[in-house]
A and B are shown apart, each in its own frame.
Chain A
Amino acid sequence: MDYIRAFVVGGLICVIAQILIDKTKLTPARILVLYVTLGAILGGFGIYKKLIDFGGAGATVPLLGFGNSLAQGAIKAVKKDGIIGAFTGGLTATAGGISAAVFFGYLFSIIFNPKTKK
């Protein structure tokens, strides 16, 4: 059951982005920026949490979830450390993902070479 919910939620989030790309000529890069910002805002209002409760990985794997983690992290740290938490919380909560992106990104860029399109 949770696989079906994740599939539907994740799929629908992608469909919204696809419609935006096809209808407004927004580039994929702008979609990513838009989604992470939107995720952080929805996360700030505590709305995104409900989507995660329902859709599980369907809500956390899209970049909206990354934005949500940033905002949730900031709020959590503010609760614990006060105002300084606003500056430490976001990156702390997402450190794993970002570090992995830097590390694996660099590693695979070094190991592999781009192939021309057929």
Chain B
Amino acid sequence: MEKDVKKQQEYKDIAQKYEPKPTLIKNIIWAFVVGGLICDIGQFFLNLFVSRGMSLEQASTPVAIIMVFLGSFLTGIGIYDDIGRFAGAGSVVPITGFANSIVAPAMEFKREGFVFGVASRMFNIAGPVIVYGVGTSIIVGLVYYFLK
């Protein structure tokens, strides 16, 4: 068994030598630019709602709704994955990426039906996000209640 571990390590070293490294600098620049631009689109709508008399906090809900709409729509017409190929995290991390993670699997599993295909696959990635997000917020709320 010990020999196996040694052999595996030796092989890992060989394999790593030939593993092309991700072009980190290029990826970072793309992520920065695309992520920044998506946020600027959000800023545009945020300013729009604030100028119509909403408070900053109030305006964040319609902005989220619009961004989700855009992310879903661009996924539907087949553009979001092309953006993602270059942008990487730049298009994953904004809330539009959250919308993409809902529409992409749902669309693809339509052939498996509208209940176990579309509706259940929608939450493939969004489900864990909501579980951990809501879970953490409840803990935050409880901690706040007891420490206040």
**A contact residues vs B (CB 8 Å cutoff):** 2-3, 6-15, 17-23, 28-29, 31-33, 35-37, 39-41, 43-44, 55-58, 60-67, 69-71, 73-75, 77-78, 82-83, 85-87, 89-91, 94, 96-98, 100-102, 104-115, 117
A86–B56 alpha-carbon span in the complex (Å): 23
Contact assessment for A29 and B31 in the assembled complex, using a CB-CB cutoff below 8 Å:
no
Query: Hey, which chain B residues are within 8 Å of A82, CB to CB?
Result: 145
Contact assessment for B90 and A110 in the assembled complex, using a CB-CB cutoff below 8 Å:
no
Contact assessment for B63 and A33 in the assembled complex, using a CB-CB cutoff below 8 Å:
no
Residues 89-130 of chain B, each 1 if its beta carbon lies under 8 Å from chain A, else 0 = 110111111110111101110100010001100100110111
Contact assessment for A14 and B47 in the assembled complex, using a CB-CB cutoff below 8 Å:
no
A-B contact count (CB 8 A): 280
A67 CB contact (under 8 Å) in B96, B99, B110, B136: B136
A10 CB contact (under 8 Å) in B40, B81, B132: B40
Contact assessment for A19 and B28 in the assembled complex, using a CB-CB cutoff below 8 Å:
yes
Contact assessment for A40 and B140 in the assembled complex, using a CB-CB cutoff below 8 Å:
yes
Query: Hey, which chain B residues are within 8 Å of A105, CB to CB?
Result: 68, 72, 99, 102-103, 106, 122, 126
Query: Hey, which chain A residues are within 8 Å of B125, CB to CB?
Result: 28-29, 32
Contact assessment for A78 and B138 in the assembled complex, using a CB-CB cutoff below 8 Å:
no
Contact assessment for B137 and A90 in the assembled complex, using a CB-CB cutoff below 8 Å:
yes
Instruction: Looking at the assembled complex, report how far the CB atom of A4 sits from the nearest CB atom of chain B, in whole angstroms.
Output: 9
Closest to B45 in A: A57
Q: What are 10 A-B pairs at a CB distance below 8 A? A: A11-B32, A15-B28, A18-B90, A22-B27, A58-B40, A63-B129, A86-B145, A97-B65, A104-B73, A109-B76
Contact assessment for A104 and B68 in the assembled complex, using a CB-CB cutoff below 8 Å:
yes
Contact assessment for A63 and B98 in the assembled complex, using a CB-CB cutoff below 8 Å:
yes
Closest to A76 in B: B141
Query: Hey, which chain B residues are within 8 Å of A11, CB to CB?
Result: 31-33, 35-36, 39, 90
B122 CB contact (under 8 Å) in A55, A65, A78, A109: A109
A12–B29 alpha-carbon span in the complex (Å): 10
Instruction: Looking at the assembled complex, report how far the CB atom of A111 sits from the nearest CB atom of chain B, in whole angstroms.
Output: 6
Contact assessment for A112 and B129 in the assembled complex, using a CB-CB cutoff below 8 Å:
no
Instruction: Looking at the assembled complex, report how far the CB atom of A53 sits from the nearest CB atom of chain B, in whole angstroms.
Output: 9
A35–B73 alpha-carbon span in the complex (Å): 23
Residues 19-55 of chain B, each 1 if its beta carbon lies under 8 Å from chain A, else 0 = 0001010011001111111111011111100000000
Q: Known A-B contacts: A32-B125, A62-B93. Give 17 more (CB < 8 A).
A: A3-B40, A6-B36, A6-B42, A10-B35, A14-B89, A19-B28, A28-B89, A29-B101, A62-B95, A63-B97, A71-B140, A78-B145, A91-B134, A100-B65, A101-B99, A109-B76, A110-B118
